[in-house]
Amino acid sequence: MMPDECPPAIRVHNLTKIYSLTPVVDGLSFEVPQGSITALLGGNGAGKTTTIAMLLGLLLPTSGQVALLGHDMATDRYAALAQVNFSSPYVDLPGRLTVRENLTIYARLYGLPRPAERIAEMVEDLELGAFVTRRTSRLSAGQKTRVALAKALINRPRLLILDEPTASLDPDSGDWIRGYLSRYAAETGATLFLASHNMAEVERLCSQVLMMRQGRIFDRGSVSELTERYGRTNLEDVFLDIARGQEKGGPAQ
């Protein structure tokens, strides 16, 4: 296969965001291959949400380039966005609308040919039946997360970007979401890119990890490469070493 036939799901080159002369994302460059599940990790304020917002075109970079599925986000963003979707606990769906109304709006935004059929599939898959006619403002955190995921999957994205997919969920609900995401990726070959503070989640789901610190990629690799490099038995300890600047090993050169 020629390289251009399967461009990376995400290609970021020298991505920078400066607020009041301070770079909060500082010259990031990385690629995420299609079909992989990749985690973006880093302590509070490392720059993960800012990076995700720039990937999605919600925030303009100060400089640098983003291409999703081979489409440059500066010049060709609509071609990319048709095949991409995202979910974030920080972006609420309109609370006065019911679950079904919300999903209908998103199905129309994506121009789906048979919106009612796709919504019925989502309702069944994500077990939304018991509350599909309820306003989203009246849902529990776990129910909201499942509805947000239904919204994020409605266009069958080839690239799904998730900001903390299981934040504020109990262990059982979190486990259900992780299981669902893992099956979705395996069945469709979609690429998942997620920011998370849950290291066990990343160990379970992700084939690749990008570690951010102070707006930069500090290190990257598979979970086993990182634990080996830092002489640790789990990702949580690697994370703590890097976040506290106490790493004994050090990033791969």
Ligand X SMILES: Nc1ncnc2c1ncn2[C@@H]1O[C@H](COP(=O)(O)OP(=O)(O)OP(=O)(O)O)[C@@H](O)[C@H]1O
Binding window for ligand X (CB under 6 A); candidates: 30-38, 47-55, 178-186, 232-240: 47-55
Q: Residue 24 Cβ, how far from ligand X at the closest point, in Å?
A: 3
**Separation of alpha carbons 187 and 226, rounded Å:** 28
Closest contact distance (angstroms) between CB of 148 and ligand X is 17
- Which residues ranging from 49 to 68 are in contact with ligand X (CB under 6 A)? 49-50
Stretch that binds ligand X, among 43-51, 75-83, 110-118, 143-151 (CB under 6 A): 43-51
Beta bridge pairs of residue 67: 11, 72
Q: Nearest 5 degrees, angle CA 241-CA 247-CA 253? A: 125
Find residue 162's DSSP bridge partners. Answer: 87, 194
> Taking CB under 6 A as the rule, does residue 196 contact ligand X?
no
DSSP per-residue string spanning 188-228: H--EEEEE-S-HHHHHHH-SEEEEEETTEEEEEE-HHHHHH
**Which of these ranges, 39-47, 111-119, 202-210, 229-237, lies near ligand X under the rule CB under 6 A?**
39-47
Q: Is 208 near ligand X (CB under 6 A)?
A: no
Structure tokens at 231: 């002489």
Cβ 135 to ligand X shortest distance, Å = 27
Positions touching ligand X (CB under 6 A) are 19, 24, 42, 44-50
